[in-house]
Amino acid sequence: MSLGDIPILSMMKQRLHWLTERQQVLAENVANANTPGYVAKDLKELDFGAMVDASGPKLAPVATNSMHIGTPVAGSADGMSLGHARGGEEIKKPDFETTPNGNSVVLEDEMVKVAQTQMDYDTATSLYSKSLGLIKLAISGNS
């Protein structure tokens, strides 16, 4: 089994790719802030539930004793998939602050999104690194 086969690591890797692509879309928005008729874009959020559903076989609780309380199995996610035209589905977001020339980019909003995406990327890379460290520790057996 390779490290890429571990579901949580592949989900983090997918999140990192999505964050990278979102930064590219946001950078395009900023670059076109003065382009007449340009409509700001963003990527559709990743659906974590769908990623978990796609990660492998489902585990269901099993009553091994007649005294156990039954639990309903949760339904699947709403079937949202991650379009891979760019890794994530681009959505156009016309804003109420559209300029007279038709441009809907609000630089302040874009900068907030860029900063949030950078913080999310830093968090995901930190989690990924720590997960790899734990796996290395488990394999080496050092305590």
pLDDT, position 88: 65
What's the CA gap between 64 and 47, in Å, rounded?
A: 33
Query: Highest mean pLDDT: which of 5-9, 10-14, 90-94, 120-124?
Result: 120-124
pLDDT, position 29: 93
Tokens representing 39?
A: 């409509």
What's the CA gap between 23 and 43, in Å, rounded?
A: 10
User: Which DSSP state fits 92?
Assistant: E
Main-chain phi, psi angles of 56, to 5 degrees: 160, -170
What is the mean pLDDT of the segment spanning 105-130? 94
The burial class, CB within 10 Å (0-12 / 13-18 / 19+), for 53 is: middle
Measure CA of the first residue to CA of the last residue in the chain; give whole Å. 24
What's the CA gap between 47 and 18, in Å, rounded?
A: 11
Structural domain span for residue 27 = 3-140
Q: Are 3 and 9 in contact (CB under 8 A)?
A: yes
pLDDT grade for 77, boundaries at 50, 70 and 90: very low
Instruction: Please indicate whether residue 87 or residue 133 has the higher confidence score (pLDDT).
Output: 133
How long, in residues, is the chain?
143
Percent of the chain topping pLDDT 90: 38
Q: Total domain count for the chain?
A: 1
pLDDT, position 58: 66
Output the pTM of the full model. 0.68
